[in-house]
Structure 1
Amino acid sequence: MKRKLLGVIDATTYHENLEDLLTHRSLAALPFAGRYRIIDFVLSNMVNSGIRSVAIFPKMQYRSLMDHLGSGKNWDLNRKRDGLFFFPSPIVDNDGNKIGSFEHFAANLDFFYRSTQEYAIITNCYTVFNMTFNSVLNWHSENGCDITEIHHKDGRPMEMYLIKTSLLIKLIETRNETGYTCMKDVVNDLHNDFTICRYNYEGHAVMIDSIENFFSTSMNLLQPDVWKKLFIKEQPIITKVKDEPPTKYVKGSEVKNAMIANGCLINGHVENSIVSRGVKIGKGAVIKNCIIMQKCHIEDNCYLDSVILDKDVRVEAGTHLVGTARSPYVIRKGTKQGALMNS
């Protein structure tokens, strides 16, 4: 399997419904579950499938993504042969919601020419799921497919495609003649000459495409049965390792049904919430149904319910912020929220 399958992750997608969380980062680098980034799921799935060559195709705002992934060491992808590759898009105005842009691939065609893997798996960067691609490859071969599109069990296309690398190269080279701009164009063309197959994935999978969807998917992680479907011991979700001290819970603090990452200082009450690394929560503060990202500082006697705080947000003492599950209150990265700002 190690030399059979090439991993290709399209990290160009931008969803306007996530704008408040994407002003400083790409969708692939969106923090999730306290210590992960969205891309960790598909990248870990590839590594757990024995894939040792992964190409990531980002577009804009990819500095935080590159900082997170680095050389790929945490995923065992810092190799002399194969490994982790970044190919930023040279096209600024291309359609960022077409997975597997042939124009983007064409600008880096030498990479595909040099690849020794017989097959390629092309995926989006924003699906939260845990699967290995071995079964897809076996099913693809057994059924004589030219292209296999992975669908969720509810019938939704998951924007993931398995294809022979040689056929992928041909599609890239002939894009101007065929008019195909991406993989979706090919599988949706009823008049093509390819054998298009659909593989149904039966596991848990959510495509993050809006604030509401991001919030509900995160909150669902607090349910043990959902957590167990995503975080499987035999198929670990790998992320960037950070050496930080354990979280300190001050006397009088209270935590109920919450995920708290390392390096935090908890003085207040935290309930049904996800708290990332290095967060400080002051005395008398009440945090309910919230997502608090890295290094936020919530001062004394604040009340937050159904709120998303992006990284490095400071909430001044006595501030009350209340959203809803369908419309969480979002504070952008690096801003300050004070009591006098509330209406």
Structure 2
Amino acid sequence: MQSLLAVILAGGTGERLSILSQERAKPAVPFAGKYRIIDFTLSNCVNSGIYNIVVLTQYQPVSLSDHIGIGTPWGLTTPDRNIRLLQPYLAREEGRDWYKGTADAVYQNLDRVEGEDVDTVLVLSGDHVYKMDYSPILEFHRENGADVTLAVTPMPAEELHRFGTVVVDEKGQVTRFQEKVKNPQSNLVSMGVYVFNTGTLRQWLGGGTGHDFGRNVFPRMVGSGRIFAYTFDGYWRDIGTLDSYWKANMEVLAMSPSFLGDAAWPIHTREVVGPPTTIGDNATVTSCLLAGGSLIEGHIEHSVISPGVQIAEGAIVKDSIIMGNTRIGRNCVIDRVILDK
């Protein structure tokens, strides 16, 4: 797919994740033991045959650059495969500033996007957990002659207020886009997966159109451009709050090994070099995800353990997420906790 560029939005502060994103970018927050949240979007790209990728960073960018590097875990180091991390910068040119939103981030890098000489731009959020082959939505976009195609997925009524919702007609064309309203008219939510014609980006970004795709750009496009919705029925979670972060980890734990261990759709990550995990003679481990390099001497149940964790004898860990290099002392009881070092 050499006429395609993937642009991953990874600059958000993730304030609702509290201290988990205080010193790291939200897409760099650990997930499911050994992964980072952005690993899912990056792996979706390479598994879909997309090897030309730009990551737009802003908040705490070092955490992402350290993790992604030159893209070795994703096989992006050959001449025809590459990944670049772009940060906002201040210059004398008019309008150059820190990113004010998702659309503004793409707009400020539009010259670089157009310089890639591609006809299609796949804009992706870097803070969602899902496994998706992007080939069908790209084909859907071309077949419908769309200006932009949004990936959407059904969501329970009690969750709809957290998302942009999409109303479509019988042909799949978007007739209304509502951004985080109390009483939406549809149960289809935007997944943060957008297929744009390159010319459409230039037409609709900038010029006072607003800074955010969901809040500004898409509502204005409805009725004026050919905007379509592609329905995705697989697992997808937005990691927007501490509660949703905990729930998503527990859901992936319940789906494993099929979700994380699918050889046909591997989730790549930067591996942490270290010894294997050691489980002591008196330890008990039930229904857990264990990353490498840990020492387990206590009781852990239905929990997610990152690399380098030490759990002492007599300690009890249940329904919890333990981040890397955390130490839990003797006889401690950790129940339904997210614990970062």
Please give the secondary structure, in 1, of the residue aligned with 2:218. helix
Would the alpha carbon gap of residues 190 and 146 (structure 1) be closer, same or farther in structure 2, given more than 3 Å must change?
A: closer
CA apart distance, 1:93 = 5.7
1:242 aligns with 272
- CA distance in 1 between counterparts of 2:280 and 2:260 reads 31
CA apart distance, 1:168 = 1.9
- CA distance in 2 between counterparts of 1:190 and 1:115 reads 25
- CA distance in 2 between counterparts of 1:191 and 1:276 reads 44
Q: Render the CA deviation track for 1:24-64: whole Å, top value 9, x for unaligned.
A: 10101000000000000011101111111111111111111
- CA distance in 1 between counterparts of 2:66 and 2:222 reads 43
State the 4+ residue runs in structure 1 displaced beyond 4 angstroms.
91-94
Q: Quick one: which of 240, 243, 248 aligns to 1:217? A: 248
Matched, 1:269 2:299: yes
Matched residues, number: 302
Q: Quick one: which of 311, 315, 318 aligns to 1:281? A: 311
Structure 2 counterparts to residues 165-184 of structure 1, below 5 A: 165-172=198-205, 175-176=206-207, 179-184=209-214
Structure 2 counterparts to residues 107-126 of structure 1, below 5 A: 107-126=108-127
1:332 aligns with none
Percent identity between the aligned chains? Answer: 31
Matched, 1:186 2:185: no
User: 8 Å contact 1:118–1:164 — kept in the other structure?
Assistant: yes
Would the alpha carbon gap of residues 107 and 93 (structure 1) be closer, same or farther in structure 2, given more than 3 Å must change?
A: closer
Q: Render the CA deviation track for 1:251-287: whole Å, top value 9, x for unaligned.
A: 1111111111111111111111110111111111111
1:200 aligns with 231
- CA distance in 2 between counterparts of 1:288 and 1:218 reads 13
User: 8 Å contact 1:204–1:229 — kept in the other structure?
Assistant: no
Answer with 248-257 or 10-19: which moved more. Answer: 10-19
2:36 aligns with 37
CA apart distance, 1:79 = 3.4
Gaps of 5+ in 1: 314-343
Gaps of 5+ in 2: 90-95, 156-187
- CA distance in 2 between counterparts of 1:206 and 1:87 reads 26
Please give the secondary structure, in 1, of the residue aligned with 2:258. helix
Letter in 1 for 2:192: E
**What is the aligned-residue RMSD (CA, Å)?**
1.9
Would the alpha carbon gap of residues 148 and 227 (structure 1) be closer, same or farther in structure 2, given more than 3 Å must change?
A: farther
- CA distance in 2 between counterparts of 1:122 and 1:107 reads 14
Please give the secondary structure, in 2, of the residue aligned with 1:262. coil
1:327 aligns with none
Answer with 83-92 or 17-26: which moved more. Answer: 83-92
